Amino acid sequence: MHLKFASYNIHKAVGLDRRRDPERILAVLKEIDADVVALQEVDRRYGRRMAVLPLDAIQAATDYVPVPLSMKPDSLGWHGNAILVRKGIDVVEAAPVPLPVLEPRGAVRADLAVEGRRLRVVGMHLDLSGIRRRHQVRSVLSHCAGCADRMPTVMMGDLNEWARTGGALREFDAGWQVLAPGRSFPSRRPMALLDRIIVSAEWAVAGTHVHHSGLSAIGSDHLPVVASLSLPKI
């Protein structure tokens, strides 16, 4: 089974031209053509936390269905984190992942069924503080370890980790592959590998890359990161 995963901090759909342009973000998602996408900063931060990507626009312009995670009626996700899955992928279970925070950060989990296989996806946006990032990674790992079923897992998001191999990345033991698709921030002239994809040992990695196009270069302050993964036959 071959699947493409992507993570994209959309900066509330505000591009480098200072325009809020949800249609541009949706066009970038169509360019990427991933099967599962983790989005960060998908809701406005204050007030009703309204989604910056309207649900009807997602359904009309893409082949994606949002995983039902919203804790507020006008939001798409949880603390700005959302997961989109290609139509035809079944959502078995979904839940927010509690994180120790001082500022609004969060993580979300979705257990999916694809071609009869179960898999788990976690999307996350971690803290600017190195100490809190490490605590947050531990919370995500503890949450997954506490789930009733074990299954192949993909974690992805804006980790806010500037270190290439250290910092919060040390919390992932030998059972995890920490993938660094490339420099993704800032989008105009990428310098840092802030956006990562972490996969459990069951996955074979066919390739990773940063999606750099004319639209993605100005659509957000981050570029999307992508991983092509496969699972062996049972």
DSSP 196: E
Predicted pLDDT of residue 73? 63
Enter the pTM of the model: 0.95
The per-residue pLDDT for range 34-79, each reduced to its tens digit, is 999 999 999 876 556 678 998 889 989 899 999 987 666 667 888 8
Mean pLDDT of 107-121: 96
Tokens 């959309």: give the residue.
10
Residue 28: enclosing H or E segment and its boundaries? helix 22-32
Mean pLDDT of 131-159: 95
In DSSP terms, 54 is beta-bridged to none
Q: 37 lies in which domain range?
A: 2-230
On average, the pLDDT of the chain sits at 92
The per-residue pLDDT for range 211-225, each reduced to its tens digit, is 999 999 999 999 999
Question: Could you tell me the CATH number of the domain that includes residue 125?
Answer: 3.60.10.10
Q: Are 35 and 5 in contact (CB under 8 A)?
A: yes
Q: State yes or no: pLDDT of 86 exceeds 80.
A: yes
Q: State yes or no: pLDDT of 197 exceeds 90.
A: yes
Torsion angle of the four alpha carbons 65, 90, 153, 190, in this order, in degrees rounded to the nearest 10:
-20
User: Which amino acid, residue 136?
Assistant: Q
Provide the number of structural domains found in the chain. Answer: 1
Predicted pLDDT of residue 103? 66
- The CA-atom distances, in angstroms, between 23 and each of 15, 83, 183 are 11, 18, 24
Taking CA 89 as the corner, what is the angle to CA 86 and CA 93, rounded to the nearest 5 degrees?
115
Predicted pLDDT of residue 48? 60
Tokens 């031209």: give the residue.
17
The per-residue pLDDT for range 153-178, each reduced to its tens digit, is 999 999 999 998 899 999 999 999 99
Tokens 């990032």: give the residue.
133
